[in-house]
Structure 1
Amino acid sequence: MDYHCKAETGVQLLARLSSRPSLTSLNETLFPDGLNLGNVTEISGNSGSGKTTLITQFLVKCLLPKTWNEFEIGGLGAGAIIINTDHHFQILKLVGTMESLLMNCRESSNSEIQYQKHIDSSTIEKIIKESLSNLIILNCYDSLHLFVTFHSLENILSSNANTSLIIIDSITAYYWQDAAAAGGILKMNSYLKKTLKALQACVEEYKVIIIYTKQTHFQSKVSFTEDTTATPGLGNITYKIHLNRVEGKETEDLFFAEVSTTATKHVHQYTISKEGLLWVK
């Protein structure tokens, strides 16, 4: 009989068992009941619907601090990992969105003179640099590289106890390469679930939130309740967010996000600006 002993340092054990920063209020429009550690969110939509813009907003909220010198910033002060497979994610866009949010905070302060004393341009730069120190970007270029990256996440998470979020953009980037290698017989749903299970298996002890994107044509042909259940386990999805454009010439700049769980479905309209997705009330 073979016995396998998995060794870990005291620091790794502490990081695995410690409570990670909460991301409950990551986005109160899409997740009114809160997003909990261990949840999995799927974001689907065609090109131009705002998938990468939305995950950039998630990163801004996650990485920025809650406060700075007693002034409210509104971030969550947590760390994040982005697995970049489509290479649509742009660090400059992330920095620009952070800067825009911090400038808006300064301008909306009730005590503007006192606020500018603490949040000037150099301070904004310092806040952004400190926030970016909690972001890890992992670039992948094929499916083998992707699965090797999955297995590296355990060491990364054990060394970064403040990391609460993993984003993969997108989870289906190498489907066509893998399908061609397999003779074109890979079922899309099975491929997606297999990839998601591989990711979850590598990080399940750390109870982090997973958010991934995919193209619309990977949309399941079965209902949410048939496709997944609310029971915790590998391959299960907590939220599905589908982004789409509202049809009609008069609404060509208007989009909607359909948010589904096993029990509920909500629709929210939005527009896309340089600040990100703006929700229409």
Structure 2
Amino acid sequence: MDYECKAESGLQLLARLSSRPDIHGLDEKLFSGGLHFGDVVEITGDIGSGKTLLITQLLAKCLLPKSMFEIDIGGLGAGAIIINSDHHFQLLKLVSIMESTFEENQQLDSSTIEKIIKTALANLIVLNCYDRVQLLVTFHSLDNILSSNKNISLIVVDSLSAFYWQDIVISGIHKMDFYLKKTLKTLQSCIQEHKIVIIYTKQAHFVSKINFVPESSKSVLGNITHRVQLNRMEGKGTESLCVAEITTLNSECTVPYRLTGEGLMWSS
């Protein structure tokens, strides 16, 4: 009988055994079955459909504490990383969305709200990238960041397709779906020792042919567990009808929404 001995570093062992805050309830409308560690969420849509606004409100929910000063806040109390490559993400918008969650809470004064938001922002790491090389270097730095930050449960990339046109000038033309799959695979390979939820955005025209795979094959690199297609269709006057098409491994559904200053408001 053959015996195989697998060695792992201390960091790998620590990453494998460490537990991170649960973000199962990140958004009940979008993810009715909840999110689980290792899930990959693709958010796609045209300009103005609300992609960056959506990830900003998801970050707010993730970062805000569950409770503080013996008051129920309603957040998840988890840390997050945002890799900002399109440079549409704004920290002030994140703060604004956080503040909007306290508008109807009469128990909190402005000083208390400020302390809660500062506590939440302390759990956010923003990594700005300006070219393909810097993006790849950032991916490879994630293992050390995650190993030293056990509170981080979410990685957001806005967007995964940001440097496609820059990259083809250097390395030649690639099919868009292959490029996206390869970039996602690189990201996943850099954090494979850690149980993390990944959410990334891409432009609607950046067509992906990454297929969903059976549950037993979820460990396959490049697997997407949730796809959220945001559609903004202009109506009469200033009105606009927005619809999110949500596809998972087991279901498909649509959820109407409105774009507001506080984020995407889901219609029942």
TM-score w.r.t. length of structure 2: 0.92
1:133 aligns with one of 96, 106, 122:
122
Which residue of structure 2 aligns with residue 257 of structure 1? 244
Matched, 1:236 2:206: no
Residues 16 and 206 in structure 1, CA contact (< 8 A), matched pair in contact too = yes
What displacement does 1:219 show?
2.6
Which residue of structure 1 aligns with residue 3 of structure 2? none
Which residue of structure 1 aligns with residue 198 of structure 2? 210
Query: Runs (4+) of structure 1 moved beyond 6 Å?
Result: none
Identify unmatched segments of 5+ residues in structure 2: 1-6
Residues 48 and 232 in structure 2, CA contact (< 8 A), matched pair in contact too = no
What displacement does 1:8 show?
3.7
DSSP 3-state at the match of 2:191: helix
Following the alignment from structure 2 to structure 1, what is the Cα–Cα distance between the partners of residues 252 and 166?
34
2:139 aligns with one of 150, 163, 168:
150
Matched, 1:189 2:173: no
DSSP 3-state at the match of 2:76: coil
What's the C-alpha RMSD, in Å, of the aligned pairs? 1.8
Following the alignment from structure 1 to structure 2, what is the Cα–Cα distance between the partners of residues 181 and 14?
38
Residues 153 and 197 in structure 2, CA contact (< 8 A), matched pair in contact too = yes
DSSP 3-state at the match of 1:241: strand
Matched, 1:29 2:29: yes
DSSP 3-state at the match of 2:249: coil
2:161 aligns with one of 166, 172, 177:
172
Matched, 1:41 2:41: yes
Comparing 162-171 with 240-249, greater Cα deviation is found at 240-249
Following the alignment from structure 1 to structure 2, what is the Cα–Cα distance between the partners of residues 13 and 124?
38
Following the alignment from structure 2 to structure 1, what is the Cα–Cα distance between the partners of residues 8 and 37?
25
Aligned length: 260
Following the alignment from structure 1 to structure 2, what is the Cα–Cα distance between the partners of residues 120 and 13?
44
Following the alignment from structure 2 to structure 1, what is the Cα–Cα distance between the partners of residues 171 and 143?
29
Following the alignment from structure 2 to structure 1, what is the Cα–Cα distance between the partners of residues 250 and 10?
40
Kindly provide the CA deviation profile for residues 168-197 of structure 1, in whole angstroms up to 9, marking residues without a partner as x.
0000000001112233x2100000000000
TM-score w.r.t. length of structure 1: 0.88
Following the alignment from structure 1 to structure 2, what is the Cα–Cα distance between the partners of residues 153 and 206?
10
DSSP 3-state at the match of 1:218: coil
What displacement does 1:13 show?
4.1
| Cα distance change on mapping 1:229 and 1:153 into 2, 3 Å | same
What displacement does 1:251 show?
7.8
Kindly provide the CA deviation profile for residues 219-242 of structure 1, in whole angstroms up to 9, marking residues without a partner as x.
33x5x7xx2313212100000000
Kindly provide the CA deviation profile for residues 23-82 of structure 1, in whole angstroms up to 9, marking residues without a partner as x.
110000011111111100000001110000000011000000111222211100000000
Matched, 1:280 2:267: yes
Kindly provide the CA deviation profile for residues 4-37 of structure 1, in whole angstroms up to 9, marking residues without a partner as x.
x87446xx74354211111110000011111111
Which residue of structure 2 aligns with residue 269 of structure 1? 256
| Cα distance change on mapping 1:255 and 1:248 into 2, 3 Å | same
Read off the aligned partner of 2:177 and give its amino acid letter.
Answer: N
Following the alignment from structure 2 to structure 1, what is the Cα–Cα distance between the partners of residues 237 and 32?
30
Following the alignment from structure 1 to structure 2, what is the Cα–Cα distance between the partners of residues 138 and 178?
20
Q: Which has the higher helix share?
A: 1
Residues 170 and 214 in structure 1, CA contact (< 8 A), matched pair in contact too = yes
